[in-house]
Amino acid sequence: MTQDELKQAVAQAAIHYVVEGEIVGVGTGSTANFFIDELAKIKHKIKGAVASSEATAERLRGHGIAVFDLNEVEVMSVYIDGADEITPQGAMIKGGGAALTREKIVASVAKQFICIADGSKLVNFLGRFPLPVEVIPMAQAVVARKLNTFGGEARLRLKDGAPLLTDNGNYIIDMHGLQIEDPIALEAEINNIVGVVTVGLFAKQGADVCLLGTAEGVKTLTF
């Protein structure tokens, strides 16, 4: 199976976790896009969705799915999103699509986080994928210097030669060359750096379930 076929398979499997008549939290990225396309097939059965990015909101609306502001929603049964890496313990790196802060906020409101990913995303240690950190623009240089003390190399993410701007108007610093043995501790340390909005480690509150696309079919990992 191709990577897209694996993503399609996990997106279809995730539909079973959607609660009829309720609002579903929806993530950002290529795998989440497959899920949105599947969600559109049952849009008459749900109240709507909360989007973790402007791109996701646009895709949801394009399918005729009502998009709610998170401030209008007290609780959601489920948040469904992909991951750049996930461990056998459910800790994740997210933020390859620069939506990590909104993803973490929306996920915090949901009772259950369902991660959908192809098998290549399952790793024993996080860090081969560069770890994203969203930062206030004026703090970019000082935060980068502090991040470099953790090992690896902090690099400002660029787009068309200029710093990439998140939906929140901030910058992304990617930490390259890490092997993260204690993701919960590192998440807390980085979040405590002044100028950091949030780090793309989802470890303290990781996934509850991972639907993993493999050549043998979709495997369900529960944490």
Whether 183 contacts 90, CB under 8 Å:
no
Whether 1 contacts 215, CB under 8 Å:
yes
Neighbours of 49 (CB within 10 A): 28
Measured CA to CA in angstroms, residue 59 lies from 19, 54, 147, 199 at distances of 20, 9, 34, 25
Query: Of 54, 58, 74, 103, which residue is the catalytic one?
Result: 103
| Separation between Cα atoms, residue 48 and residue 43, nearest integer Å | 7
Whether 107 contacts 81, CB under 8 Å:
yes
**Residue 134 annotated to the active site:** no
| Separation between Cα atoms, residue 140 and residue 195, nearest integer Å | 8
Whether 10 contacts 211, CB under 8 Å:
yes
**What's the count of helices (H) and strands (E) in the chain, helices before strands?**
6, 15
For the chain, report the end-to-end CA distance as a whole number of angstroms.
26
Q: Find where tokens 């930062």 sit.
A: 135
Catalytic residues: 103
